[in-house]
Structure 1
Amino acid sequence: MTEWRVLSDVALVELVERLRSLKWSWLIEDFPSLADEFGWRVEMSDTSWVMFESGFGMGSGKVLGRDGRANTIRVRITDFVDEGNRGRGQTRDAFARFTTVLSATLGDPSTRRPGEIPEVRWAGPDTTLLLRDLEVSVVLELVTNSSLALQDLAAELPDEGLDDENI
Structure 2
Amino acid sequence: MNADIADVVQIARTAADFEWTWTVDDVDRFTSSAGWNVKNRRELGATLVTNLRIEEPLAQAFFGNDLKYILVFLADYVEDADPARTAELVDHFADLSQEMIAVLGSPTAQRPGREPNMKWARPDVVVELLGYEFGFQLKLENPKYREWQDRF
Band the TM-score falls in, shorter-chain normalisation: 0.7 to 0.9
Distance apart, 1:131 and its partner CA: 0.2
The residue correspondences of 1:44-59 to structure 2 (distance < 5 A) are 44-54=40-50, 55=52, 56-58=54-56
Task: Work out whether residues 37 and 49 of structure 2, in 8 Å CA contact, stay in contact via their aligned partners in 1.
Answer: yes
Cα offsets for 1:113-132 (capped at 9, x unmatched): 23443210111113211000
Aligned partner (choices 118, 121, 127) of residue 119 of structure 2: 121
CA change 1:37–1:125 in 2 (3 A) is closer
TM-score (norm: length of structure 2): 0.84
Distance apart, 1:12 and its partner CA: 2.9
Distance apart, 1:43 and its partner CA: 1.8
Who is 1:165 aligned against?
none
Who is 2:96 aligned against?
98
**Whole-angstrom CA distance in 2 between matches of 1:90 and 1:12:** 17
Who is 2:32 aligned against?
36
Higher relative contact order (CA 8 A, sep 6+): 2
Identity, % of aligned positions: 21
Distance apart, 1:49 and its partner CA: 1.0
Root-mean-square deviation (Å): 2.1
CA change 1:115–1:6 in 2 (3 A) is same
Task: Work out whether residues 81 and 133 of structure 2, in 8 Å CA contact, stay in contact via their aligned partners in 1.
Answer: no
2:74 partner letter: I
| Structure 2: gaps (5+ residues) | none
Task: Work out whether residues 94 and 138 of structure 1, in 8 Å CA contact, stay in contact via their aligned partners in 2.
Answer: no
The residue correspondences of 1:68-147 to structure 2 (distance < 5 A) are 69-85=66-82, 86-147=84-145
Cα offsets for 1:119-148 (capped at 9, x unmatched): 101111132110001221211111111211
1:96 partner letter: A
**Whole-angstrom CA distance in 2 between matches of 1:30 and 1:19:** 11
Task: Give the aligned length.
Answer: 149
Cα offsets for 1:26-47 (capped at 9, x unmatched): 2225523432332222122223
Q: Which has the larger radius of gyration?
A: 1
Cα offsets for 1:78-101 (capped at 9, x unmatched): 111231223322222211111111
With 135-144 and 87-96 compared, the bigger mean Cα shift is at 87-96
